[in-house]
Structures are given as C-alpha cells and as structure tokens.
C-alpha cells in the first residue's frame, strides 16, 4: 500500500508485508473492535445507535456528545468494503501510532474529530437559517470514514516524502494525499447531490479534518498556531512603533547582528 522511502530513491515494491509485520498497538486493535462492534449493533438493532452519530440534532436538540462519538460508530451496510476500510485503517493507524506515540496519536484524533464535527454542524445550522435543508445525517464523514481521513492525512504529514500506492497500483508521494482526500470527498459530495441529498456539511467536515490534522502535526495545534500568529502581529506592531519613534526623535538605529540587540 505504501512505502516509507523518499520519492527521490524511487518507490518501494508493492505488497503489504511491511505494513502487517511488527508489533501492533493495543489502541489500534481496540479502535477497530469498537468500530466493528458498533457496526454490528447498529445493523442488528436497525440503526439503533443513530443517537451517537453526528446529525442535525447536535445543534437542534443540543446532542453535544455527537461531536465526539460519531467517529467511533461504524457506518454503512456490511460488505467487503467495510473490511477493506478496516484493513487500511489498521495499516495507517499502526504506523501513525508508533510515529506519534499514544498521547499525540489520540490528541490528533481528538482535535480533528471534534473540529470537523463543529464545522459540519455550523454549516448545517447556517444553511437552515438561510432556508436550505440538507439531510439530517452527514454520511461522507461518519464513523471509520472520518478516521481514515485523519490517519491518512497524519501519515501524509509525518512521512511527506514516502510513497503511497493509490488503489495498490499507482505510486504517489504521500504529501499529495492531503489534496487527494479532499478530491475524493468532493466526488462523494457530487454523488450525494446527484441522489438529491447533497452532503455539503460532510464534505466541508472532511476538508476540516484534513486541515486540522495537518495543523496539529506541523504547527502543534490551532492554539499554538494562533499564539504564533499573535506574536507575529505584536512583532510588526513593535517594529512599526520603533520606526515611528526613530523618525520622530531623529534616532539612528543600528541593529547588532541577526540576533543582537537594537542600539540607539
């Protein structure tokens, strides 16, 4: 499915041997078991876990727990595609877990899951206020679908120069999958629109999941990114103030090297 070798050295040979070997994190096994178990319960009870999925009830009835629970409830009819999705989830989850460690692994998932859900809920609420109605459920981003998006985006961010075999055939640079995931989500959105149930909240939720995952892993999370942005603003303000004082008082300002102090 993928290789960890930089593109400049050429793609690795196909196959799943490297992915399936090595120690398996207990966290990933539990995650897969939860998704498969909830899928079975949902099928046997006739969609009995719908109250845990992300739906319009999150804002219409204040079902705020759905912002977190929806990602861990298996979604879709039982089929071989579910098994394939779980296999890919296992492979990428295993690699990302050992690359990040338990704490960063779950922190990244938590940021992306909740952030994506908030984006979808806000879009749905704004559309309702403007007189538009989407479906009450957002199928593009339910269950293992949003988790797959997050883990593939995490792998593409951590190992940006690695090779991923798209559909097990086409070798592509891992970093490209940040955009490929959005493209796949857009195709899913067009498919939902063709069926008369455009899932715009789900599509934008997937886009948010990709963006949040990248931000968390590259910049330490939205909080740290905002702090850095604020520090840059303060730096520009101080530079502007210093320049204004220099013109006002006739100071000759000499900078003491790249990291040295300013001298008047």
Rounded Cα distance between 144 and 151, Å, is 10
Rounded Cα distance between 161 and 22, Å, is 22
Q: What percent of the chain has pLDDT over 70?
A: 78
Q: Over 80: is that where the pLDDT of 89 sits?
A: yes
Q: Which tokens sit at 196?
A: 């008369």
pTM: 0.76
Asked whether the beta carbons of 171 and 13 are under 8 A apart, the reply is: no
More confident residue, 36 or 80: 36
Q: Over 60: is that where the pLDDT of 144 sits?
A: yes
pLDDT tens track for 20-71? 556 889 999 999 999 999 999 988 888 788 899 999 999 989 999 999 999 9
Taking residues 156-167, report their average pLDDT: 84
Residue 241: per-residue pLDDT: 74
Rounded Cα distance between 174 and 6, Å, is 9
Domains in the chain (CATH in brackets) are 2-220 (1.20.1540.10), 225-263 (no CATH)
Taking residues 109-136, report their average pLDDT: 91
Residue 206: per-residue pLDDT: 95
Taking residues 78-93, report their average pLDDT: 89
Q: Over 70: is that where the pLDDT of 12 sits?
A: no
Q: Over 80: is that where the pLDDT of 122 sits?
A: yes
**Rounded to the nearest 5 degrees, what angle is found at the Cα of 173, between the Cα atoms of 171 and 178?**
120
**Contacts of residue 86, Cβ cutoff 8 Å, sequence gap at least 6:** 32, 35, 36, 144
* Sign of the alpha-carbon dihedral angle for 41, 87, 174, 225: positive
Query: Of the candidates 148, 136, 143, which has an alpha carbon nearest to the alpha carbon of residue 77?
Result: 143
């Amino acid at each position: 499915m993928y290789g960890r070798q930089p593109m400049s050295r050429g793609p690795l040979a196909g196959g799943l041997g490297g992915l399936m070997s090595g120690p398996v994190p207990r966290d990933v096994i539990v995650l897969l078991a939860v998704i498969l178990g909830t899928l079975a319960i949902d099928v046997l009870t006739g969609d009995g876990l719908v109250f845990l999925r992300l739906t319009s009830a999150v804002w219409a009835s204040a079902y705020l727990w759905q912002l977190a629970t929806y990602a861990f409830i298996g979604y879709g009819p039982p089929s071989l595609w579910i098994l394939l999705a779980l296999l890919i989830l296992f492979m990428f989850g295993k690699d990302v877990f050992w690359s990040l460690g338990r704490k960063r692994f779950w922190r990244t998932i938590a940021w992306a899951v909740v952030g994506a859900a908030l984006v979808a809920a806000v879009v749905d609420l704004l559309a309702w206020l403007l007189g538009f109605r989407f479906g009450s459920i957002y199928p593009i981003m339910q269950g293992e679908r949003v988790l797959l998006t997050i883990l593939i985006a995490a792998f593409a961010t951590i190992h940006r120069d690695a090779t991923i075999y798209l559909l097990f055939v086409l070798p592509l640079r891992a970093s490209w999958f940040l955009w490929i995931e959005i493209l796949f989500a857009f195709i899913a959105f067009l498919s939902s629109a063709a069926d008369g149930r455009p899932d715009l909240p789900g599509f934008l939720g997937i886009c948010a999941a990709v963006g949040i995952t990248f931000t968390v892993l590259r910049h330490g999370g939205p909080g740290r990114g905002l702090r850095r942005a604020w520090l840059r603003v303060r730096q520009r303000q101080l530079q502007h103030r210093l320049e204004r004082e220099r013109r006002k008082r006739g100071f000759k300002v000499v900078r003491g090297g790249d990291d040295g102090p300013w001298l008047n």
